[in-house]
């Protein structure tokens, strides 16, 4: 079952993704350039309008300069 983007677990993921970007010192535009997509997609993801699958999550982590497995551990530990 895929949770809604409004589910509390998914909201935690959205905040986690934004924190990864900010901790990497990236603007939405800079992250979008690294991911070769539109800035509006970054915004939609962070606002919970756009769903993120596992592959997109891994790309996001790498674009922020982190290994996906490190980010997953942060997500588990994070109280966002």
Enclosing domain of residue 46: 21-77
Q: What is the pTM of this model?
A: 0.88
Closest alpha carbon to 35 in 47, 22, 26 = 26
**Has residue 71 been placed in a domain?**
yes
**Has residue 14 been placed in a domain?**
no
pLDDT for the residue numbered 2: 57
Whether the CB-CB separation of 12 and 43 falls below 8 Å is answered with no
pLDDT band for position 3 (cuts 50, 70, 90)? low
End-to-end CA distance of the chain: 23
**Has residue 5 been placed in a domain?**
no
**Has residue 34 been placed in a domain?**
yes
CATH code, 41: 1.10.260.40
pLDDT for the residue numbered 1: 57
Whether the CB-CB separation of 80 and 15 falls below 8 Å is answered with yes
Mean pLDDT of 4-11: 75
Residues in the chain: 80
How far, in Å, CA of 15 to CA of 46, rounded? Answer: 7
Segment 53-75, tens digit of pLDDT: 999 999 999 999 999 999 999 99
């Amino acid at each position: 079952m895929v949770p809604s983007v409004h589910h509390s677990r998914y909201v935690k993921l959205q905040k986690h993704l934004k924190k990864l970007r900010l901790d990497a010192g990236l603007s939405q535009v800079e992250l979008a350039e690294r991911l070769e997509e539109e800035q509006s997609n970054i915004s939609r993801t962070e606002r919970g309008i756009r769903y993120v699958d596992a592959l997109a999550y891994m790309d996001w982590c790498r674009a922020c300069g982190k290994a996906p497995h490190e980010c997953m551990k942060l997500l588990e530990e994070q109280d966002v």
